[in-house]
Amino acid sequence: MNQDSILRSLVANNLVSDPSGARGRLLREAARLFRDKGYERTTVRDLAAAVGIQSGSLFHHFRTKEEILKAVMVETIRLNTALMQAAVDSAPSSRDKLQALIRAELESINGQTGEAMAVLVFEWRSLSEESQAYVLELRDIYEQLWLDVLQALRREGVLVADPFVVRRMLTGALSWTVTWYRSGGGLTLDDLTQQVVAMMGLTTPER
**pLDDT of res. 207:** 47
**Residue 108 resides in a domain:** yes
Distance CA 179, CA 167 (A): 20
Distance CA 189, CA 109 (A): 11
> What is the phi/psi pair of residue 178, to 5°?
-65, -20
Distance CA 96, CA 119 (A): 29
How confident is the model over 40-45, as a mean pLDDT? 92
**Residue 205 resides in a domain:** no
pLDDT in tens, 48-71: 899 888 777 777 788 899 999 999
| Count of structural domains within the chain | 1
pLDDT in tens, 59-103: 778 889 999 999 999 999 999 999 999 999 999 999 999 999 999
The more confidently predicted of residues 1 and 154 is 154
State what percent of residues in the chain have pLDDT above 70: 97
**Residue 207 resides in a domain:** no
What CATH number has the domain bearing residue 84? Answer: 1.10.357.10
Residue 135: domain span: 3-199
**Residue 206 resides in a domain:** no
Distance CA 94, CA 14 (A): 32
Looking at the chain, list the stretches that DSSP marks H as alpha helix, in order from N- to C-terminal side.
Answer: 3-12, 22-37, 44-51, 65-89, 94-110, 114-122, 129-155, 163-176, 189-200
**Residue 204 resides in a domain:** no
pLDDT higher than 90, residue 155 = yes
**pLDDT of res. 153:** 96
In one-letter notation, the amino acid at residue 28 is: R
Q: By the 8 A CB rule, do 109 and 95 touch?
A: no
Report residue 168 CA to chain centroid gap.
Answer: 15
Distance CA 153, CA 147 (A): 10
pTM of the model: 0.89
pLDDT higher than 50, residue 109 = yes
**Residue 68 resides in a domain:** yes
